[in-house]
């Protein structure tokens, strides 16, 4: 009797042999990008052998609905004699978790009801190899696994091996999902989107040429940065820094480096990692305009459906993101949390990071409580997974000391000190402590002004106190499509070609200072870290059309009540910024920035790996190869509080019928149970992420319609403002967040 792997609703069946061989070939192809093809092929062949048991076949044929745990069988085969075959044991994690996620290793004394690898293997032993028929369906498989070909320090071998295990897990999961999806839909294997890198590079060169000859100092310096990027792109893979003052044109220049470098080094894609979801749409729009719509994927949403052993063909799980485009724009949260995740939905895309150019925009925004594991991950991608990493910033955060080979890090710009001096466009002025009334008086006196504060409460209060027209509030609880529209309105008002200089006053939290392309004549910035003050200055006289003397960034302290509410993580940066500002005449000079970060990292010490992530992984490998994958995934949180996704039916202007109908059409499809990557990508443009507590407040107020465990729709549309975004009801009062 032919062994069955899947049965479709229309009665078609996929044989176990076909599925195993398909997944083995796909996974091996994915892992070939980093030299892990042999291990990935074995994973593909063995991952579903548990289905070959009598109980498994009864379930596959529909004779019983009883749940069958099939994922531990292949793990048992690979974990045999682990002391002499440790690499087989690493692979056993991948098969044991290929539906429910990489488990913790556990210990020999774990009882069978535990979710650890040890417990799964104990449960499997009770079945007495009832999956043995698989041996007649596929070619013989050697379980003596080749050594992982890794370059790593002896003190960090555990981290390197755990990282490679997770990358192989990604190859297996994505291959399994893709082959299952193709069979269930009765369609050929879905191809990746986009055009070849050489085509995109030529298109970008044409775009850059269209800017013409530089006609002012700022344009000349941007051209210099661009030429430096193209020149350095010819060098080999590694870690680079791109230190360019704000407004120096690093977005397109870094893309030019990445595309040319990818061509020179036969790399597959470019991944652009930015701090906030609030600027994904801006960066992606720039790239789309230069390269074409079909070549850029922006990963907004955090919808992560999981498959289970009960329903592995769930279309929601198959729709999870795998980054199959040539240009990816994503966030620090999505990128780094995925690299330390254990769930299939987060890990599926990881193998597509290998053999890529990864650009970390605003590198000073890497999460400091997790800085050491983040840097270790970047180092691992470069050393062992054929990546190039570029750390971009106007305030380069002195990370060299944390990389394995700090001397090997290359700066792209020929003379960033001279570049800084040439692009100085503002002066800083200390304004002391300002209460809200005084601050509002100052803001209302300016026709065009930006004010950045540390708390949402103060941003809300100040926005409500602005007078006249042309006032805007930027919030993370505005959908990407809404933010894009608001920023377009702001830029239109600030257009230097306009002679009427219409009013434009913007109140924002720090989200606006990380790469948002706006140009105000004056900026007020609540005191924060030195890097925040300098990034805020990048929104002032950005194009250099005014004199530096007339372009002022006022640094102020807020009322005491706001100081008490600001995040505790700002306390040390503020204190060190005060010290550095006293020591250096020019607080924005490269040597002042270096001193600031050196002192900050020194004071933080062990807190740069607050959860002990690296230590836990290394210690676990040394302790019987017991890697705490699930525990690490739970603890590694760039944003500590988990979030939920809410779709907004009315995030456009009330009169824009076309957009409103399109959004409601997306929601109707989701209500009907449709799930696909394309659908979720589009829906993500009209969604916001809220913390669990905020989600529960909205739910308790009857404001939400739950579609499933990951998605909700805003039912009470009065709670979304076209000025401030989503409002959270609290004690009967709508509070803007």
Instruction: Report whether pLDDT(655) > 60.
Output: no
Edge to edge, the sheet with strand 704-706 lists 687-691, 643-647, 711-714, 704-706
* Average per-residue pLDDT for the chain: 89
Residue 53 near residue 70 (C-beta atoms within 8 A): yes
Choose the weakest-confidence range: 102-106, 191-195, 611-615, 716-720.
191-195
User: Hey, which residues does 644 pair with through a beta bridge?
Assistant: 690
Residue 334, Cβ density class (10 Å: 0-12 exposed, 13-18 middle, ≥19 buried): buried
The residue length of the chain stands at: 737
**Which one is predicted more confidently, 241 or 145?**
241
Contacts of 67 (CB under 8 A, 6+ apart): 59, 309, 310
Find the mean pLDDT for residues 634-662: 80
Q: What CA–CA distance (Å, rounded) separates 694 from 36?
A: 43
Q: How confident is the model at residue 312 (pLDDT cuts 50, 70, 90)?
A: low
Residue 580 is predicted with a pLDDT of: 96
Instruction: Report whether pLDDT(660) > 70.
Output: yes
Q: What CA–CA distance (Å, rounded) separates 28 from 17?
A: 16
Residue 733 is predicted with a pLDDT of: 40
Q: How confident is the model at residue 640 (pLDDT cuts 50, 70, 90)?
A: low
> What's the pLDDT tens digit per position in 480-526?
888 888 999 999 999 988 989 899 999 998 888 876 889 999 999 99
Instruction: Report whether pLDDT(263) > 70.
Output: yes
Instruction: Report whether pLDDT(12) > 60.
Output: yes
Residue 294 near residue 287 (C-beta atoms within 8 A): no
Q: What CA–CA distance (Å, rounded) separates 320 from 622?
A: 34
Residue 370 near residue 636 (C-beta atoms within 8 A): yes
Q: How many CB atoms lie within 10 A of CB 64?
A: 12
Q: How confident is the model at residue 310 (pLDDT cuts 50, 70, 90)?
A: very low
Residue 313 is predicted with a pLDDT of: 59
Rounded to 10 degrees, what is the CA torsion of 271, 272, 276, 281? -100
Instruction: Report whether pLDDT(311) > 60.
Output: no
DSSP-derived letter for residue 325 is S
Highest mean pLDDT among 274-283, 370-379, 537-546: 370-379
Instruction: Report whether pLDDT(305) > 60.
Output: no
Residue 383 near residue 151 (C-beta atoms within 8 A): yes
> What's the pLDDT tens digit per position in 129-159?
889 899 999 988 888 888 888 988 888 899 9
Q: How confident is the model at residue 736 (pLDDT cuts 50, 70, 90)?
A: very low
Choose the weakest-confidence range: 29-43, 229-243, 635-649.
635-649
Highest mean pLDDT among 332-341, 405-414, 514-523: 332-341
Identify which of 62, 86, 65, 72 has the alpha carbon closest to the alpha carbon of residue 144. Answer: 86
% of the chain surpassing 90 pLDDT: 58
Find the mean pLDDT for residues 335-357: 95
Q: How confident is the model at residue 420 (pLDDT cuts 50, 70, 90)?
A: confident
Edge to edge, the sheet with strand 388-393 lists 296-298, 327-331, 269-274, 356-360, 388-393, 239-243, 410-411
Residue 436 is predicted with a pLDDT of: 95
- Please tell me the CATH code under which domain 4-184 is placed: 1.10.3210
How would you label 610-627 residue by residue, b for 16+ Cβ within 10 Å and e otherwise?
Answer: bbebbebbbebbeebbbb
- Please tell me the CATH code under which domain 425-587 is placed: 3.40.50.300
Query: Which single residue is written with the structure tokens 């020999």?
Result: 108
Phi, then psi, of 642 in degrees rounded to 5: -65, 155
Q: How many CB atoms lie within 10 A of CB 90?
A: 25
Contacts of 537 (CB under 8 A, 6+ apart): 246, 426, 428, 523, 525, 553, 588
Instruction: Report whether pLDDT(83) > 80.
Output: no
Residue 167 near residue 351 (C-beta atoms within 8 A): yes
Residue 725 near residue 688 (C-beta atoms within 8 A): yes
Q: How confident is the model at residue 315 (pLDDT cuts 50, 70, 90)?
A: low
**CA pseudo-torsion sign 192, 195, 198, 202:** negative
Computed over its alpha carbons, how large is the radius of gyration of the chain? 27
Find the mean pLDDT for residues 25-36: 96
Q: What CA–CA distance (Å, rounded) separates 558 from 429?
A: 15
Q: What CA–CA distance (Å, rounded) separates 208 from 256?
A: 9
Find the mean pLDDT for residues 347-364: 95
Both tokens of residue 314? 């769930």
pTM, rounded to two decimals? 0.87
Q: What CA–CA distance (Å, rounded) separates 52 from 40?
A: 20
Q: How confident is the model at residue 578 (pLDDT cuts 50, 70, 90)?
A: very high
Find the mean pLDDT for residues 419-447: 93
Q: What CA–CA distance (Å, rounded) separates 357 from 696?
A: 40
Residue 737 is predicted with a pLDDT of: 39
Instruction: Report whether pLDDT(81) > 60.
Output: yes
Choose the weakest-confidence range: 114-118, 459-463, 514-518.
514-518
Q: What CA–CA distance (Å, rounded) separates 549 from 265?
A: 45
Q: How many CB atoms lie within 10 A of CB 503?
A: 16
The CATH 3.40.50.300 domain(s) of the chain lie at 197-409, 425-587
Instruction: Report whether pLDDT(732) > 60.
Output: no
Q: What CA–CA distance (Å, rounded) separates 565 from 555?
A: 19
- Please tell me the CATH code under which domain 197-409 is placed: 3.40.50.300
- 3-class SS at 214? coil
The CATH 1.10.3210 domain(s) of the chain lie at 4-184
Find the mean pLDDT for residues 157-181: 96
Find the mean pLDDT for residues 317-329: 79
DSSP β-ladder status, 522-526 and 448-452? parallel
Instruction: Report whether pLDDT(735) > 50.
Output: no
């Amino acid at each position: 009797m032919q062994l069955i792997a899947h049965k479709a609703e229309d009665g078609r069946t996929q044989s176990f042999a076909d599925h195993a061989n398909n997944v083995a070939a796909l996974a091996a192809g994915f892992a070939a990008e980093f030299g892990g093809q042999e291990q990935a092929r074995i994973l593909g062949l063995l991952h579903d052998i548990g289905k070959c048991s009598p109980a498994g076949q009864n379930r596959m044929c529909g004779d019983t609905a009883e749940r069958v745990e099939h994922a531990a069988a292949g793990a048992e085969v690979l974990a045999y004699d682990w002391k002499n075959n440790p690499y087989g044991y690493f692979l056993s994690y991948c098969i044991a978790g290929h539906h429910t996620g990489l488990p913790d290793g556990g210990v020999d004394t774990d009882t069978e009801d535990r979710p650890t690898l040890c417990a799964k293997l104990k449960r499997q032993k009770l079945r007495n190899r009832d999956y043995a028929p698989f041996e007649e369906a596929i070619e013989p498989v050697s379980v003596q696994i080749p050594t992982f070909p890794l370059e790593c320090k002896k003190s960090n071998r555990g981290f390197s091996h755990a990282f490679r295990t997770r990358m192989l897990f990604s190859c297996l999961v994505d291959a399994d999902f893709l082959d299952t999806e193709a069979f269930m839909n009765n369609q050929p294997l879905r191809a990746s989107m986009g055009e070849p890198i050489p085509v995109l590079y030529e298109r970008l060169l044409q775009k850059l040429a269209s800017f013409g000859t530089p006609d002012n100092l700022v344009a000349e310096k941007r051209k210099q940065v661009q030429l430096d990027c193209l020149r350095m792109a010819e060098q080999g893979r590694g870690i680079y820094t791109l230190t360019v003052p704000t407004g120096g044109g690093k977005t397109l220049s870094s893309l030019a480096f990445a595309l040319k470098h990818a061509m020179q080094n036969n790399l597959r894609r470019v991944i652009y990692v930015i701090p906030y979801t609030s600027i994904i749409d801006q960066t992606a729009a720039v790239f789309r305009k230069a390269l074409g719509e079909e070549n850029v994927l922006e990963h907004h949403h955090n919808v992560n459906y999981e498959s289970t052993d009960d329903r592995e063909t769930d279309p929601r799980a198959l729709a999870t993101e795998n980054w199959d485009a040539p240009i990816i724009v994503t966030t620090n949260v999505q990128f780094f949390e995925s690299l330390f995740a254990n769930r299939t939905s987060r890990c599926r895309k990881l193998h597509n990071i290998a053999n890529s150019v990864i650009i970390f925009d605003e590198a000073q925004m890497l999460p400091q409580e997790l800085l050491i594991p983040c840097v270790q991950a970047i180092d691992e991608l470069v050393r062992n997974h054929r990546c190039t990493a570029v750390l971009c910033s106007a305030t380069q955060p002195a990370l060299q000391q944390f990389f394995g080979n700090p001397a090997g890090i290359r700066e792209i710009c020929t003379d960033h000190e001279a570049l800084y001096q040439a692009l100085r466009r503002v002066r800083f002025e200390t304004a002391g402590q300002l209460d809200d009334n005084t601050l509002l008086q100052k803001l209302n006196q300016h026709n065009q002004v930006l004010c950045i504060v540390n708390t949402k409460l103060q941003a809300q209060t100040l926005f409500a106190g602005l007078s006249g027209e042309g006032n805007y509030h930027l919030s993370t609880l505005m959908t990407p499509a809404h933010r894009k529209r608001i920023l377009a309105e702001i830029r239109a008002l600030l257009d230097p070609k306009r002679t009427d200089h219409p009013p434009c006053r913007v109140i924002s939290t720090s989200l606006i200072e990380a790469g948002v392309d706006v140009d105000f004549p004056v900026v007020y910035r609540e005191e924060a870290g030195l890097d925040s003050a300098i990034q805020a200055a990048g929104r002032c006289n950005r194009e250099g059309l005014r004199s530096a003397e007339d372009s002022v960034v006022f640094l102020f302290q807020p009322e005491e009540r706001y100081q008490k509410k600001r995040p505790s993580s700002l306390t040390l940066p503020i204190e060190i910024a005060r010290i550095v500002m006293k020591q250096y005449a020019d607080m924005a000079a490269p040597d002042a920035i270096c001193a600031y970060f050196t002192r900050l990292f020194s004071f933080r010490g062990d807190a740069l790996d607050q959860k002990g992530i690296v230590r836990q992984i290394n210690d676990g490998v040394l302790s019987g190869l017991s890697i705490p994958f699930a525990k690490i995934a739970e603890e590694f949180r760039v944003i500590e509080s988990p979030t939920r996704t809410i779709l907004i039916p009315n995030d456009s202007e009330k009169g824009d019928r076309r957009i409103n109908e399109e959004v409601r059409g997306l929601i109707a499809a989701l209500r009907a149970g449709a799930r696909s990557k394309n659908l979720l990508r589009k829906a993500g443009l009209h969604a916001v992420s809220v913390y669990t507590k905020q989600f529960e407040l909205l739910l308790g107020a009857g404001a939400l319609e739950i579609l499933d465990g990951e998605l909700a729709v805003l039912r009470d549309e009065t709670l979304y403002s076209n000025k401030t975004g989503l409002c959270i009801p609290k004690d009967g009062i709508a509070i803007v967040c």
